[in-house]
Copies of this chain bind each other. A is one copy, B any other.
Amino acid sequence: MTLRIALIGFGKIAEDQHLPAIAANPDFELAAIVSLNRPSHIRCPVFSTVGDMFAGLPGGIDAVAICTPPVPRFAIACEVITAGLPVLFEKPPTATLGELDYLIALARLRNVPIFTAWHSQYAAGVPVAARALKGEAVTSLTMLWREDVRKYHPGQQWIWQPGGFGVFDPAINGFSILNNILDEPLLVNRVSMLFPANRQTPISAEVLFHGDDRKAILDWRGGDEDEWKIQIETASGKSVRLMEGGAQLEIDGAPRSLPPRSEYRAIYEDFADVVRRRCSKIDRDPLRIVADCFLAAERNAGDDFA
């Protein structure tokens, strides 16, 4: 039977990624959208609130995907989990670790499956890199995450507001990959953040992890081109290089041929499985890494962001 799904929050990521992934997946049928703005080109029912949707949708729904900014998610997730609906969380799942731990406990109590989707973990190179690094001792790790915030978050204000994470919003994707491919935990040691004088979240950062020569360089000011790279060297002399956010992979300098893969189609395949088997799929570590960065950070003030 097709799963009737509601998209809660209808911004750029919902429209660019969730909508086509749902349309391409025969397990799902888009039953409703919950959004304060009414998208004109969408044919399914649109409601302003989750409560309105529950009241107004005669056929009911079987699952939801939450794609709002992080801060309002907690109240929404409490409401839908309490109503017994399986939840897919766009990343990051919540604004705080306490909220996530509470929702995990609530979902267990109610026997409702939830899924913290980290889309970069579904990039084609990630499982191959994980196999290559199995049992290897890392001697050097550099993550470089550089993009232009104006390109990926045009006009968005929430990313600059408290709880919006700033450059850690894209960087959490890199952390979610590292967390998947390393045979050791990623532990924040020292962090330096640059805050535009007129913004509440950092525009760039450098993160040093425990262990020798393990670092992440994050930059939201852009450059000649986007770079989402991870380079890892190991004690046995192996070199693993993920590029394009995990879509491209080189091992020991040789490019690996990877099947083309849509991260979001793979996410919805997994979510169908989570819903049908009623088995949660939860990874809270990327959010913990970001929380540790903010806890440990040296804060520097930079120029205004315009």
* Residues of A bordering B, CB below 8 Å: 74, 95-99, 101-102, 162-163, 165, 185-188, 190-191, 195, 200, 210, 288-292, 294-299, 301
Contact = CB atoms under 8 A, between A and B. Distances in A.
Q: Main secondary structure on chain A at its contact with chain B?
A: mixed
17 contacts: A95-B295, A96-B295, A96-B296, A97-B288, A97-B292, A97-B295, A98-B289, A99-B187, A102-B187, A162-B298, A163-B295, A195-B299, A291-B292, A291-B295, A294-B295, A294-B297, A295-B295
Given A97-B292, A210-B74, A162 B187 contact: no
Contact of A95 (B289, B296, B301): B296
How many protomers of this protein does the assembly include? 2
Contacts of A95: 295-296
Nearest to A209: B98
A251 to B, nearest CB: 28
Contacts of A165: 295
Nearest to A184: B102
Contact of A297 (B74, B99, B162): B162
A187 B96 contact: yes
Give the top 7 A-B pairs by smallest Cβ distance, nearest first: A96-B292, A162-B298, A291-B291, A98-B187, A294-B294, A294-B295, A291-B295
